[in-house]
Chains A and B, each alone.
Chain A
């Protein structure tokens, strides 16, 4: 069945460092791919999404490109801030189903 595998954490970075969180997937057909973010004590919020191959989703300085050839949707940000500290979930939507990765905790230190 469909599945999502994302980079294990936790990830700790200094402010203004470059961020990459890896996400790969297995799916049949043409899934949509998502990154959700969960701040402490809150529910998940959609960060960005891409619905077809080569699409780039972007929001708040974060970017991810839907790569069908490598079945990947890695999350990147050029310069992280303390306020980006949260748990990030990669997700795959396909065939009336949504699968979430286990989450990667990011801590950004000043």
Chain B
């Protein structure tokens, strides 16, 4: 069974530029998550999709972050414009249905904002 795929693995941009990350979850998983992991901390949920609908985006900085999951499969997370404090690893995860179940994580995208 293929795992969660993410791209790119690394990205370096300057502040005020825009960047986009892509995620393809495990086939058949209805729920997809984007997490932000700052160095030395645990993952922080940014947004949760159930199929192609948003379930929870309460911690997403909506003035600069956006995400979509068209057709209920793969997803993109965008930052525009980026700030220095956005430097982090962005993790995508999926689960069969609910957040409290086992989540399967992709390798992450490491973003450095200069």
Question: Which A residues fall within an 8 A CB radius of B?
Answer: 31-32, 34, 36, 41-46, 49, 89, 93-98, 100-103
Contacts and interface: CB of A to CB of B under 8 A. Distances in A.
Contact of B100 (A45, A98, A101): A98
B100 A46 contact: no
B100 A89 contact: no
- Best-surrounded residue of A45, A89, A93 (most CB of chain B within 10 A): A93
Interface in B41-89: 41-43, 45
Contact of A44 (B40, B91, B100, B101): B91
B42 A97 contact: no
Contact of B42 (A32, A41, A102): A102
Nearest to B43: A100
Contacts, number: 51
B17 interface: no
- Where chain B touches its partner, the secondary structure class is loop
12 contacts: A34-B102, A42-B107, A43-B93, A43-B107, A49-B102, A89-B43, A93-B100, A98-B99, A100-B43, A102-B40, A102-B41, A103-B40
Query: Which range contains the number of B residues in contact with the other chain?
Result: 20 to 34
B98 interface: yes
Contacts of B99: 93, 96-98
Given A43-B4, A49-B102, A93-B101, A103 B42 contact: yes
B42 A101 contact: yes
Given A103-B41, A103-B42, A43 B100 contact: no
A97 B102 contact: no
Contacts of B102: 34, 46, 49
A11 to B, nearest CB: 14
B105 interface: yes
A94 B104 CA distance: 17
Contact of A100 (B6, B42, B108): B42
A105 to B, nearest CB: 9
